[in-house]
Structure 1
């Protein structure tokens, strides 16, 4: 029954006039909360507003970057954006974002290594809505562990152009107390959501509005878990 509801929600969202076609911004000051929540690509900020109302997240890491990055820059002391640049379009988008947020001293941007194993895994996930070859996992683990030190970030957000996002999330457990993923209402094969193995010391909470986000919170964060579970 829940899966049917999620399908209906996504279909209605796609045809709803409130979810407008993505605008193109040349000035970060043009990006507002209201504009972000009215597009499926950035509607995750509505869920971050709830999270940020409960706890101050000073140092945030996001895998992937875009117009939603502006919300983090407006609400966090430090923001780091990392991206796997896999195809020519990713290079262009990386440069657009770097220019868009160049005046924010609190922002760090990093282009991650993309070995052939990751490029192939991403291609299979995009074109076949899933894959069966997991030889890239050792490369992915090495890259994540080289770039994400334990307990450095208050929150890590996964919305990257590397489509097997679930494999990134599995590697982040134990590195931060709060992990958030976008687009968890659909494309289970492409993103691999069913491969996520939640450790016993984390609580998983699904927030289904819009494209949907899933939050994994360490059980030591009782207040945050209770607040998010109510929404």
Structure 2
């Protein structure tokens, strides 16, 4: 991992666990690079190595039908760390390979239902939908997962674009930062709001055509009340 990217993420207040989750790495790997580059982690005392997770502790949480995300929250560790210890102990959560479908899932499949009321450990009894892979999934969980991905993608793009409005420097709320196309006729995808469901590389290509503006400056640019500074150019994410 390069020093510049790590330093930028640490300045934003991200912990080692959060950085690891973003890049799909183990927390200890991020810690290694932070140390190698001579940087200091946020909340270092919390991010420092705290030893392994106990087998009995994990077995109890798995038996409680908790997901990896729920276990990670319960033990205050990253999901990558939880996955590592589950694999080491040969354990798997209810979504793991080899788990038998619940009776209600089997009944829904036999009936050929595209949607069915089932019990979600997170949301209680709610509507599940049959996905393209042939699995039933809680619609609310799926919606929340999509929203999380959109926020994650936008966070990456915003930071790669400088992290602040190119006119006034506003950087307090990511939701208030918009990507403004310098040449609207070249626009292929929307980066703001629902458009963030597009693949990251396509979004990065689109972001190269844009500058980052806060909502106020964006409105003023659209109404031709202010102009984008001559020095501001669409950035090429590194």
Q: Same fold (TM over 0.5)?
A: no
* TM-score, normalisation: structure 2: 0.27
Max Rg structure:
2
- Higher relative CO (CA 8 A, sep ≥ 6), structure 1 or 2? 1
1 or 2, which has the higher helix percentage? 2
